[in-house]
Amino acid sequence: MANVKPRVVVVGAGMAGLTAANKLHTSTHLKQLFELTVVEGGSRIGGRINSSEFCGDRIEQGATWIHGIEGSPLYKIAQEQNLLHSHRPWECMIGIDSGNPTTVAEGGHRLSPSTVHPISTLFKNLMNHMRGKSVDEDGDLISEIGKNCSDGENLSVGSFLRRGLEAYWGVSKGREGVEGVGNWSRKSIEEAIFAMHENIQRGYSSADDLTVLDYNAEREYADAIFPGEEITIARGYTSLVESLASVLPSGTIQLNRKVEKIEWQQSHEFGPVKLHFSDGTTLSADHVIVTVSLGVLKNGIHMFDPPLPISKNRAISKLGFGVVNKVFLQLPPHEQETKSPFLQMVFRQPNSELRHPKIPDWIRKTSLLYPIYTNSSVWVSWITGKNALEIESLEEAEIAKGFSTTTTNLLSSNSNSGKRFEFVKAMRTQWGSDPLFFGSYSFVAVGSSGDDMDVLAEPLNPQLQIMFAGEATHRRLYSTTHGAYFSGLREANRLLDYYNYRH
């Protein structure tokens, strides 16, 4: 190695990049074994973690939850750094915890638990079966469907779920006492409630359509979810990455340094890697840890010179990476709902002639709408896939109008006495069109598998010139902040092992 002190450059100051930098620094700084730099294309750290403000409230534009606190390293950091308490309210989505949503259907029908519960339970049980978890009702039915499906090649989550619904209808034809609601037939309302759950699932996975989400990968993913409560971070998710970054000497993180090209070596004559930035400058390194999103890798086919090996490119193109955006909406303060409803929205299916003409199409696959904390005048909704991309180019006023019209229609039942919901302001995230992300998080698409994530995680050569971290490189914890964290740790440890610096 020409340089006495190996030069390590981490590309990206998101969770994976900052974890890698934090680990490399804290493991070696006493002896100053590395020359460490983090280059970030954007003007802030955090990447897909971005706490900000909307109408005076603290909101999360990206990562929102710690998914399970037991065993979560992020929860541990948040606890140690006292990030879980704040004198100001924050986006904590209290309604989700209540487990008592108000389900409203197009045309202004508040649905009773007796209508919603059987379909919600069926859906939950189908998901649990896929994930190898116990099923509390409909057990025989679900294991029958499962028998026909479990060995299926290229089976999707979406097709399994629909088989489940068909089978349910098959055995429940003569169910007594279950009628339609208003001008909804029993079957149409059940299908629409089922679709509402599918849409929630689309948001969890980021897949635009559940028929592209791999069935077999669900179990591996579910096995890796941490147990325990799911929480949000009172001081903002960004405070977590700030805490990781705070140990780095000033100047280590360079913002607004967008990498355009990474020149690396394939031959035995290993010269340094050369990074080319968008401003025309360059930087040489012995080791580069690339943490950019799968979306950036998919779009950045010319980023590597020479190009990435075929196996790596194949994994990049096969794996799924979808768009999920959040929409924040403001009600005038005097219109705050004292009961802070947590709304589940049920819409007419595409083939229905009874669709309300003023409800925009882009909202129809959106299921949830709720205040970010009890009595907040700021509400939030999550939009996935093509619709998420579509709203990125809409005026925010149009989005506020679309939500106002829709909510007014959904809540127009007698009990609400025709009250009009008027959101006065909207703000939506734009993860899909942002060239530093090109989407929100990854998933195992039909035709790919966790093996592709392992391929993505492999360094390009034994000399560890180019290494890869980031949520999409973790075969069990992809799509999460803790997946990104562990991937950063993995690559830092790989480098420390290479130099025998791990104790």
Ligand X SMILES: Cc1cc2nc3c(=O)[nH]c(=O)nc-3n(C[C@H](O)[C@H](O)[C@H](O)COP(=O)(O)OP(=O)(O)OC[C@H]3O[C@@H](n4cnc5c(N)ncnc54)[C@H](O)[C@@H]3O)c2cc1C
* Binders of ligand X in range 229-288 (CB under 6 A): 258-259
Residue 65 lies near ligand X (rule: CB under 6 A):
yes
Neighbours of 353 (CB within 10 A): 5
47 binds ligand X per the rule CB under 6 A: yes
- Contacts (CB under 6 A) with ligand X, residues 145-164: none
Give whichever of 381 and 409 is closer to ligand X, judged by the CB atom: 381
Q: In whole angstroms, what is the distance from residue 170 CA to residue 46 CA? A: 49
Which of 108/295 has CB closer to ligand X?
295
CB–CB of 399/407 below 8 Å? no
| Nearest distance in Å: CB 274, ligand X | 14
**Of 43-51, 103-111, 161-169, 417-425, which part binds ligand X (CB under 6 A)?**
43-51
Closest CA to 92 of 233, 203, 229: 233
What residue has token string 């299908």?
Answer: 191
Q: How far is the CB of 22 from ligand X (least distance, A)?
A: 12
Order of strands, edge to edge, in the sheet holding 102-105?
Answer: 109-110, 102-105, 343-346, 368-371, 378-384, 324-330, 425-428
Gyration radius from the chain CA atoms: 24
- Neighbouring CB atoms inside 10 A of 35's CB total 15
The torsion defined by the Cα of 7, 503, 223 and 85, in degrees rounded to 10, comes to -80
Task: Using CB under 6 A, pick the residue from 9, 20, 38, 41 that binds ligand X.
Answer: 41
Q: Letter for the amino acid at 197? A: H
Residue 389 in the binding site for ligand X (CB under 6 A): no
In terms of CB distance, is 291 or 412 closer to ligand X?
291
- Using the minimum distance from each CB to ligand X, give the nearer residue, 356 or 386: 386
Considering only residues 312 through 341, tell me which ones interact with ligand X, judged by CB under 6 A. 324, 326
Q: Residue 406 has which token pair?
A: 């829709």
Binding residue (CB under 6 A) for ligand X from 36, 39, 253, 466:
39
The single residue among 239, 293, 344, 376 that binds ligand X, judged by CB under 6 A, is 293
Q: Confirm if 150 and 126 have CB atoms less than 8 A apart.
A: no
Instruction: Specify the residue, 409 or 479, whose C-beta has the smaller distance to ligand X.
Output: 479
CA 172 to chain centre: 35
Please confirm whether the linkage preceding 306 is cis (ω < 30° from 0): yes
What is the closest distance, in whole angstroms, from the C-beta atom of residue 36 to ligand X in the complex?
A: 16
User: Judged by CB under 6 A, which of 63, 130, 289, 363 binds ligand X?
Assistant: 63
C-beta separation of 264 from 460 below 8 A: yes
Specify the stretch interacting with ligand X by CB under 6 A; choose among 57-65, 187-195, 313-321, 457-465.
Answer: 57-65
Residues 392-431 interacting with ligand X (rule: CB under 6 A): 429, 431
Of the candidates 15, 44, 11, the one whose C-alpha atom is nearest the C-alpha of residue 303 is 11
Among 75, 304, 437, 486, binds ligand X (CB under 6 A): 437
- Tell me which of 6, 8, 10, 17 binds ligand X, using CB under 6 A: 17
> Site residues (CB under 6 A) for ligand X?
11-17, 39-42, 47-49, 62-65, 67, 258-259, 291-293, 296, 324, 326, 429, 431, 436-437, 440-441, 470-471, 479-481, 484
